[in-house]
Homo-oligomer: A and B are copies of this chain.
């Protein structure tokens, strides 16, 4: 009699490859055994190996370079971005609700984080933030809403939390930000019609931070998010 409920090859191979990385203490960028070596080591066919590696690639746990080899991946939050984007787009009619959920999480995170960061930000970091805002002003002032303005917005929020020394925070916020932007693009939303207001909100945040006004900084961040939410609601009303 055969064993019942045997685990599928592919998922077993996935675990074995991960375990191999862990056991050998490999870090991001380190080369993995070739597909041929893996199929021999694990005693499975090349198809199974490839399917397992494809799955791990989707999780950014391995990186496959055509004609070169397979490498340990950076384990970024790309899968989260893909998943959230799909999930939001797949709500077909109610993507406003899905975006609002993401926005609320971002809001709670940033309002809590800015308090933690307010006390420890150095003057140099504040100067840097102010520089980003200034660049936003000139980018918005030209009337040319290319790709630079959103990038600066993202840069602002990332620079804001750099001093935390928490690598996960900017990645997580960046993931949410990217989802928001991708969904906006897929829905054909227009650019921010009032960039000068958006820029001012950012400047308010820096001003409060420079004054070491924790409450004020949090309030300014909250106001900023009210603006984003209002715009999202507007757009989805206009389109839907």
Residues of A bordering B, CB below 8 Å: 8, 10, 18, 21-22, 25-28, 47, 50-52, 54-61, 66, 72, 75-77, 79-80, 82-84, 86-87, 89-90, 92, 98, 101-102, 104-105, 108-109, 111-113, 116, 164, 166-169, 172
Q: What's the nearest-Cβ distance from chain B to residue A16, in Å?
A: 14
A22–B90 touching, CB < 8 Å = yes
As for how many copies of this chain the complex holds, the number is 2
A169–B101 touching, CB < 8 Å = yes
- The answer to whether residues A83 and B59 also contact, given A90-B27, A168-B105 and a CB cut-off of 8 A, is yes
Report how far A216 CA is from B8 CA in the complex, Å: 50
Instruction: Select one of B83, B112, B116 contacting A79, CB under 8 A.
Output: B83
A83–B55 touching, CB < 8 Å = no
Report how far A83 CA is from B58 CA in the complex, Å: 10
Q: What's the nearest-Cβ distance from chain B to residue A127, in Å?
A: 26
Report how far A28 CA is from B223 CA in the complex, Å: 36
CB closest residue in chain B, given A8: B66
Identify 9 new A-B residue pairs, CB closer than 8 A, beyond the known A105-B166, A109-B112.
A18-B86, A25-B92, A27-B90, A47-B47, A51-B51, A54-B55, A79-B82, A102-B168, A108-B116
A51 proximity list for chain B (CB < 8 A) = 50-51, 54
Instruction: Select one of B25, B58, B86, B172 contacting A105, CB under 8 A.
Output: B172
B66–A77 touching, CB < 8 Å = no
Report how far A57 CA is from B11 CA in the complex, Å: 11
Report how far A56 CA is from B85 CA in the complex, Å: 13
For A57, A76, A108, which residue has the most chain B Cβ atoms within 10 angstroms? A108
Report how far A202 CA is from B73 CA in the complex, Å: 39
A80 proximity list for chain B (CB < 8 A) = 77, 79-80, 83
B75–A61 touching, CB < 8 Å = no
Report how far A61 CA is from B58 CA in the complex, Å: 11
Q: What's the nearest-Cβ distance from chain B to residue A111, in Å?
A: 6
